[in-house]
Amino acid sequence: KAGVTQTPRYLIKTRGQQVTLSCSPISGHRSVSWYQQTPGQGLQFLFEYFSETQRNKGNFPGRFSGRQFSNSRSEMNVSTLELGDSALYLCASSLMGRNEQYFGPGTRLTVT
């Protein structure tokens, strides 16, 4: 089976812009979670989607949003980018009823 894929892999944006990141889960996985990873804060949970519904949300401002499509693919959007949003954004998928997360390679976002 193909693993979790994320696009784009690298992105450079300027402050104030918005960005959309995409994630395709492993075939058959209907749960998709998003994480932000920075050297200082580690892995921070953003949100989880299951069957097109947001099931859980972390402590991030409303500028961070996401959605999931009927084919389980997911996107996350960050509006009005700030310098502090520079991070590796990781998507992870999991099987219904199973806890282990399968991570994608991530999207490295740099905000200048």
Partner 1 sequence: GQQVMQIPQYQHVQEGEDFTTYCNSSTTLSNIQWYKQRPGGHPVFLIQLVKSGEVKKQKRLTFQFGEAKKNSSLHITATQTTDVGTYFCAGQNTDKLIFGTGTRLQVFP
Single residue of 43, 51, 80, 84 touching partner 1 by CB under 8 A: 43
Q: Is 2 in the site for partner 1 (CB under 8 A)?
A: no
Q: How far apart are CA 40 and CA 80, in angstroms?
A: 22
Q: How far apart are CA 54 and CA 90, in angstroms?
A: 17
Q: Is 90 in the site for partner 1 (CB under 8 A)?
A: yes
Q: Is 103 in the site for partner 1 (CB under 8 A)?
A: yes
Closest among 101, 106, 107 to 29, alpha carbons compared? 101
- Site of interaction with partner 1 (CB under 8 A): 33, 35, 42-45, 55-56, 59, 90, 92, 99-106
